[in-house]
Amino acid sequence: MNRRHLFTAAALLAALGLAGCKEEPASPQTTAEPVQTFQWKMVTAWPKNYPGLGTAAERLAERVKTMSNGRLTIKVYAGGELVPPLEVFDAVSRGTAELGHGAAYYWKGKVPAAQFFTAVPFGLSTSEMNAWLSKGGGQALWDEAYAPYGVKPMVVGNTGMQMGGWYNKEINSLDDLKGLKIRMPGLGGEVLSKLGATTVNLPGGEVFTALQTNAIDATDWVSPYNDLAFGLHKAAKFYYYPGWQEPQAVLELLINQKALDSLPADLQAILSEAARAASQDMLDDYVYHNALALDELKQQGTLLKRFPNEVLDAMQRESAVVLGELAAQSELNGRIWASMQAFQAQVSQMHQLSEKELYNWR
């Protein structure tokens, strides 16, 4: 009986204790702020998924999406899908697209200084150009040239040293250049004009047809990897080297400055690092595929020809004239050319002892 009373009393006390405890209200759930996302457009100067050039733009977009966990996505448009290939710069400047992918010398009619930032005849090599831009003050000059148009440029690839081009007739002397109609943009085209050729600037997608139909007599394009993809060996017989006009060729990422400023700092950093990664990826692509494509071109009967020394000497002399004239056009142009020349003189001493010796002995 006592034991039963004890259990009953304990149960009663427990019930009273529970009744006296007030239940704490549940804390309100913290509402996470919505993640801000950005959907950008990139217009390019290349055919859709074109090897090396077009694929580099697609890979850049994929890399940015992955690195940002989908917060920044980029839709890539081939040349002509949204704007014509040679109007990429204007589209980014106007804000029609946030990004552009092309080569700076395509916009020389709008920004004459842009020609320095693709390739200079007999100028910097790939590694030298990258070093000048990132360490030698070149990027600041590039930014200055594009700033009035609301555009921020970045390196987003390099094709390495190019070939001298495809010709429908042999070039045995300077006389063979006179009257020649050739597709060659940038400073190389101006040099050939001084040597008596007629130069035109055509987007890549029009090059094969123009050469095949004899609308032009010769063309440069890039190097075996891209030239084979366009089938240029089917439209011209002679494949000339060296690529004096483009000892390297920077590809650029054009960014609308207002759009860039709208990005959080981490997405700006992601875009920048993705571009750096794309640059190395493209260079690796060209080194590997150029070797394979050259073998294929030779098997297809392509005749490799070296420009005669007489012709190369004349090209080098006229290149100095053309670059001097460009430098004299503006104070900014003068500073760009002076900076590039000084850098080339500085690094050439080391490369005479290293890379040049290696290539000669190999």
- Three-state SS for 74-92 is EEEECCCCCCCHHHHHHHH
pLDDT in tens, 93-130: 999 999 999 999 999 999 999 999 999 999 999 999 99
Query: Is 124 within a domain?
Result: yes
CA–CA distance, 67 with 78 (Å, rounded to integer):
23
CA–CA distance, 145 with 129 (Å, rounded to integer):
17
Q: What is the mean pLDDT of the chain?
A: 91
Give me the percent of the chain exceeding a pLDDT of 70.
Answer: 91
Query: Is 47 within a domain?
Result: yes
- Tell how far CA 307 is from the center of its chain: 28
Query: Is 216 within a domain?
Result: no
Burial of 257 (0-12, 13-18, 19+ CB in 10 A): middle
CA–CA distance, 167 with 38 (Å, rounded to integer):
46
Q: Give how many domains the chain has, as a whole number.
A: 1
Q: For residue 325, how many other CB atoms are within 10 A of its CB?
A: 12
Q: How confident is the model at residue 204 (pLDDT cuts 50, 70, 90)?
A: confident
pLDDT in tens, 294-340: 999 999 999 999 999 999 999 999 999 999 999 999 999 999 999 99
Give per-residue burial for 8-25: e unless 16+ CB within 10 Å, then b: eeeeeeeeeeeeeeeeee
CATH of residue 50: 3.40.190.170
Residue 141, domain extent: 38-160+248-290
Query: Is 145 within a domain?
Result: yes
Residue 17: its pLDDT value, please? 46
Alpha helix stretches (DSSP H) within the chain: 2-20, 53-67, 88-94, 126-134, 138-146, 186-194, 207-212, 224-230, 257-262, 265-299, 309-327, 331-353, 355-361
Residue 32: its pLDDT value, please? 63
Query: Is 173 within a domain?
Result: no
Query: Is 232 within a domain?
Result: no
Higher per-residue confidence, 32 vs 21: 32
Nearest one of 107, 130, 80 to 254, comparing CA atoms: 107
Give the contacts of 161 (CB within 8 A, at least 6 positions apart): 125, 126, 223, 242, 243, 246, 247, 248
Query: Is 183 within a domain?
Result: no
- Tell how far CA 228 is from the center of its chain: 20
Determine contact, residues 245/187, Cβ cutoff 8 Å: yes
Query: Is 271 within a domain?
Result: yes
CA 276 to each of CA 27, 34, 273, 300: distance values in angstroms, whole numbers, following the listed order: 47, 30, 5, 36
- Report which secondary-structure segment, H or E, holds 154: strand 151-158
